[in-house]
Amino acid sequence: MSVPVCDLDLRGVCEAMNRGELTSVQATEAYLQRIERHDRVLRAYITVMADEALASAKAADVERAQGQRRGPLHGVPVALKDLIAVAGVRMTAGSRVLADHVPARDAFVTERLRGAGAVLLGKLAMHEFAFGRPATDEPFPTGRNPWDVRREPAGSSSGSGVAVAAGLCAGALGSDTGGSIRGPAARCGIVGLKPTYGLVSRRGVVPMDWSLDHVGPMTRTVWDSAVLLQAIAGHDPEDASTRAAPAPGMTSVLEAGVRGLRLGVLRRYYVDWPGLDGEVREAALEAMAELQRQGAALEDVDAPTLDLAPSIWATFLAEMYEYHRETFRARPHDYREPTRVRLMMGALVTAADLLRAQRLRARLAREVRGLLERVDALVFPGHAAPAQRIEEVSTREVMAPGARYTSPWNLLGLPAIVVPCGFSRDGLPLALQIVGRPFDEPTVLRIARAYERATDWHRRRPDPAGWRLS
């Protein structure tokens, strides 16, 4: 092959296997070698499942040789955020609290990936329990951004973002409660998709906040995310939040373009927010202009209750506290300090606070539902600023100001995708975000793909020569 395996996107790996140019064992060995070579610096993985991955790859190659192909993920090496259960493999959720926890059963999404023929490479680094802040110490340090290893990759799905961007797997799963898929995807220059609430089961996933948690794909391209999402979406009788209807075809309109679509720009709350980095603003506006050049109609829209979204979201710390209550009381110092602070804040939320938050959440939902009756999707910057230096990241903030770009869409459970839309003067990735109607992932993916097809941002790769600490 003319392109090294680890520089391919997921589709490239799949197609190379289909052409007979690459076996699953060869691909798996290439990723394992790259992990061995670079992960001491990048810190994307908590657990590498080398023996199991190679055994799965051999089995996939045997099936392929016998004419059996389970689908596009057959034999493709992927990895999972370390709050997604894999039977018999340690699952830490990035915390000392679960340092020795070994689940006996696969998560629903793990079962789905196995059924699709994917090879599981390992478990990826994350912020503690999906809400702690970046950690630089053992046993579970946060990953480093492959575009500049002095900078953070955002969280909490930090390892998923790093591993995909650095070519340490062909694709990954993350979780998103307030932006934990989209933040790392935006800052690592990849695609990240938070699906509609209820499209993907959370059974076997360590919860942060039951009413806000989502599991979704993180990949190098839109097609890759569509295929990964297709594999994991669907009803789970053991997760009452999942929808019984069949999942839509994620690639059904992927190449249909945007001509005739109406896109709403949340200009007041997002584009004109004073805290938005100027380079992010310029890149996002240029991305919107590109969609307009392709035939989409743009109009400014607004939802006034967005101003209250961060405060609404913060009250749901009560759910996080409830999950951890007994363990936190018994072993408080096994939690990192930033997580302890957030848990204590959750303990202070009253029933009246939650009731008011639910009423405001319903009001926001009505406003946004009205917008999505007028337009097909919403577009705005994917994040507030490029990746920060690791030492500059605050461990005190309950919610970073930039979370305004992601957390409202967890409150509303709407599908939201970030796609690369440029680089800063310092060479750091920038992103556009697209939000759609409930269970209309095909349209969200269609818009993202139309933009991606017109650009080459998704083809850029970080330089491994920079993956050293001096």
Classify residue 57 by burial, with Cβ atoms within 10 Å: 0-12, 13-18, 19+.
Answer: buried
Q: Are 83 and 147 in contact (CB under 8 A)?
A: no
Residue 418, beta-bridge partner list? 192, 433
Q: Which neighbouring-strand residues pair with 444?
A: none
180 given a catalytic annotation: yes
Q: Annotated catalytic residue: which of 157, 180, 201, 225?
A: 180
Whether 449 and 223 have beta carbons less than 8 Å apart is answered as: yes
Exposure class string for 158-177: b at 16+ Cβ within 10 A, else e: bbbbbbbbbbbbbbbbbbbb
Tell me the β-bridge partners of 173.
Answer: 80, 217
CA atoms within 13 A on the CB side of 217: 28
Strand, coil or helix: 354: helix
Coil, strand or helix: which one is 281? helix
- Asked about 160 being catalytic, the answer comes back as no
Distances (CA, A) of 387 to 299, 420, 429, 467: 30, 14, 8, 16
- State the Cα–Cα distance between residues 281 and 170, nearest whole angstrom: 30
- CB-count exposure of residue 330 (10 Å: 0-12, 13-18, 19+): exposed
Tell how strand 416-423 and strand 429-436 pair up. Answer: antiparallel
Between the two ends of the chain, the Cα-to-Cα distance in Å is 34
Which token pair is 455?
A: 């650009």
Residue 466, Ramachandran bin (φ over 0: left; ψ between -120 and 50: alpha; else beta):
alpha
From the candidates 81, 175, 194, 407, which is the catalytic residue?
81
If phi over 0 gives left and psi between -120 and 50 gives alpha, with beta otherwise, what is residue 372? alpha
Q: Which of 467, 396, 420, 401 is nearest to 184 (CA)?
A: 420
CB 218 within 8 A of CB 154: no
Residue whose pair of structure tokens reads 């799963």 in the numeric block: 173
| Dihedral, 85, 90, 93, 99 alpha carbons, nearest 10 | 150
Q: Is the dihedral of CA 130, 136, 137, 139 positive or negative?
A: positive
Instruction: List the catalytic residue out of 56, 95, 156, 201.
Output: 156
Active-site positions? 81, 156, 180
